[in-house]
Amino acid sequence: MSNETRIAAIRAALEAAFQPDALEIIDDSARHAGHAGARDGRGHFKVRIMASAFTGQGLLARHRAVYDALGTLMQSDIHALQIEAKAPGE
């Protein structure tokens, strides 16, 4: 799967789970070329998401929710994920 296809899959999963006010997905894979963990072909991504679903949740709960929403993509297509999850107004 190409990283463009992975980004589309990540976007679809997060939009379905959170209906975010803002969502940015950055392919950071090129910075990790040659890295031992990148050899399996999976990508490195940054996600910046703002959604009311995160209101009242702590950082760990927000990250767990994002990982849960991505489901099997975490095993099949994503090697590393940096998450910035905020509620509106933060």
Q: What is the pLDDT of residue 51?
A: 98
Judged by DSSP in three states, 45 sits in strand
pLDDT in tens, the chain (90 residues): 788 999 999 999 999 999 999 999 999 887 656 655 555 667 889 999 999 999 999 999 999 999 999 999 998 888 889 999 999 999
Residue numbers of the domain that contains 15: 3-86
Q: What is the pLDDT of residue 36?
A: 56
Question: What's the number of domains the chain is made of?
Answer: 1
The values of phi and psi at residue 49, to 5°, are: -135, 140
The domain spanning residue 53 has which CATH number? Answer: 3.30.300.90
